[in-house]
Amino acid sequence: SLVDKANYRHFMAKEIHEQPEVVGHTLARYIDMASERVMLPVKLPFDFKDIQRISITACGTANYAGYVAKYWFERLARIPVEIDIASEFRYREAPLRKGDLAIFISQSGETADTLAALRYAKAEGVHTLSVVNVPTSTIARESETVLQTLAGPEIGVASTKAFTCQLMVLASLAVAAGKARGELSDEDETKLVHGLVEIPRLMAAALTLEPQIEKLARDISKSKDVLYLGRGTSYPMALEGALKLKEISYIHAEGYAAGELKHGPIALIDENMPVVVIAPFDRVFEKTVSNMQEVAARGGNIILMTDAKGAAEATVDSLVTIVLPDMASAFTPMVYAIPVQLLAYHTAVVMGTDVDQPRNLAKSVTVE
Ligand code: G6P
Write down the pLDDT at residue 317: 74
Question: What is the rounded distance in angstroms from the CA atom of residue 271 to the CA atom of residue 259?
Answer: 21
Write the pLDDT tens digit of every residue in 89-113.
999 989 999 999 999 999 999 999 9
> What is the ipTM score, two decimals?
0.96
Q: What is the CA(267)–ligand 1 centre distance, in A? A: 32
Q: pLDDT tier at 78 (50, 70, 90 boundaries)?
A: very high
Taking the model in full, what pTM does it have? 0.97
Instruction: State the pLDDT at residue 18.
Output: 97
Neighbour count for residue 153 (Cβ, 10 Å): 13
Ligand 1 closest atom vs CA 108? 14
- What is the chain's length? 368
For position 2, what pLDDT does the model report? 56
Which ligand 1 atom minimizes the distance to the CA of 157?
Answer: 8
Catalytic residues: 363
Ordered strands of the 81-85 beta sheet? 81-85, 54-58, 101-106, 127-132, 145-148
pLDDT digits (tens, 9 = 90+) for 186-232: 999 999 999 999 999 999 999 999 999 999 999 999 999 999 999 99
* E strands, the chain, in order: 31-32, 37-38, 54-58, 81-85, 101-106, 127-132, 145-148, 225-230, 252-257, 275-278, 302-307, 319-324
DSSP reduced 3-state for 303: strand
Distance (angstroms) between ligand 1 centre and the Cα of 347 equals 21
Task: List pLDDT tens digits, range 272-299.
Answer: 999 999 999 999 999 999 999 999 999 9
In the chain, what percentage of residues exceed pLDDT 70?
A: 99
